Structure 1
Amino acid sequence: MSNKLELYHGSGQIVEFPEIRKTRYTKDFSWGFYCTNSYQQAHRWAERKHENGIVNVYSYTENNQLNIKKFEKMTNEWLDFIAECRAGKVHAYDIVEGPMADDTIWNFVNDYLNKNISREVFWEYAKFKHPSHQISFHSIRALECLKYERSEVINDSTVE
């Protein structure tokens, strides 16, 4: 194990014990527990989706024995991976890390997935956009890399 850093998960509740839940819709990197290295991004997730938003804070220690996929930037491989995951394809990675499309880029991704625009048009639209970070955990072994530190209620200064 190596590389320790702080990760954040925006939610409507305290998440001391993260879980992987299969939901109706898959996300960018399929079903998993999603975090980011950006406090501001987690704050937006919590604020946008929950009346009483909470930012959960974890220390993350990377385990190099796990099957980890990292996308350093938006590439054709990243776009194809998202397309497959959104279509329901299951992958064998414990952890996937990479760019997260903001709402604007996500609209372009949807247009691409729905064949309303070509790959070339997607990249033309996306080239001036700057995605944020996401890391998703897809196995129990992956979740063991996270250590719950604290939760912060975003509507006031309460810290638990």
Structure 2
Amino acid sequence: MILYHGSREIVKYPEIRKAQYHKDFYFGFYCTKLPNQAKRWASRYGIKGYLNSYEYTPNYELKYLIFEEMSEEWLDFIVECRSGKPHTYDIVEGPMADDTIYNYIQNYIDGKISRAAFWELAKFNHPTHQISFHTISALDTLKYIGSEVVDGSEK
């Protein structure tokens, strides 16, 4: 399977970087099977970026968590990760909480909307996908194929 990572730079050797803010599935290296989504990641600052491609070979000796769709478990997991709670999975896969969904999640965390209201708002969003790699063993499932320039004007 080919996976994509959008970035401001070419990433031949993926890394897990600790960042200022926690992401959906905590700190990790994030990819998607949707090239257009990765192109948006690459050009999100309106400048030139790169669509990095990887051959992904699953290793079933690793600890996986897969969410087939947005669910109660998915929401609870993202709330925990974005609140700074680590997990023990090597690889986590599922829908992405894009900017709009992120705002709904933050409103839910802050008590501004109910869980029912979150689901009512979330159901109108387009499909997304992310797969995050959280350990060196997980990163070993990726083999760099190449990169292409994304000019920042792509939507």
Query: TM-score when scaled to structure 1?
Result: 0.91
Q: Does 1:26 align with 2:22?
A: yes
In the alignment, which residue of structure 1 is the partner of 2:96? 100
Q: Given residue 111 of structure 1, which amino acid in structure 2 is its aligned partner?
A: N
Q: Decide which of 47, 50, 56 is 1:51's aligned counterpart.
A: 47
Cα distance in 2 for residues equivalent to 1:32 and 1:50: 24
In the alignment, which residue of structure 1 is the partner of 2:64? 68
Contact 1:101 1:131 (8 Å CA) reproduced: no
The gaps in structure 2 that reach 5 residues or longer are: none
Q: Given residue 42 of structure 1, which amino acid in structure 2 is its aligned partner?
A: A
Cα distance in 2 for residues equivalent to 1:50 and 1:143: 28
Cα distance in 2 for residues equivalent to 1:12 and 1:149: 17
Count of residue pairs the alignment pairs up = 152
Query: TM-score when scaled to structure 2?
Result: 0.94
Per-residue deviation, 1:50:
6.0
Deviation per CA, 1:80-125, whole angstroms, max 9, x where unpaired? Answer: 0000000100000000000012222221111111111111110111
Q: Does 1:81 align with 2:81?
A: no
More contact order relative to length (CA 8 Å, sep ≥ 6)? 2
Contact 1:9 1:57 (8 Å CA) reproduced: yes
Cα distance in 1 for residues equivalent to 2:28 and 2:116: 30
Q: Decide which of 37, 41, 56 is 2:33's aligned counterpart.
A: 37
In the alignment, which residue of structure 2 is the partner of 1:109? 105
Aligned residues: percent identity? Answer: 59
In the alignment, which residue of structure 1 is the partner of 2:4? 8
Q: How large is the Cα RMSD of the aligned pairs? A: 1.3
Per-residue deviation, 1:23:
1.0
Deviation per CA, 1:23-46, whole angstroms, max 9, x where unpaired? Answer: 111100000000000000000001
Cα distance in 1 for residues equivalent to 2:13 and 2:85: 26
Cα distance in 2 for residues equivalent to 1:129 and 1:52: 27
The gaps in structure 1 that reach 5 residues or longer are: none
Q: Secondary structure at the match of 2:5?
A: strand
Higher share of residues assigned strand:
1
Cα distance in 2 for residues equivalent to 1:103 and 1:22: 20
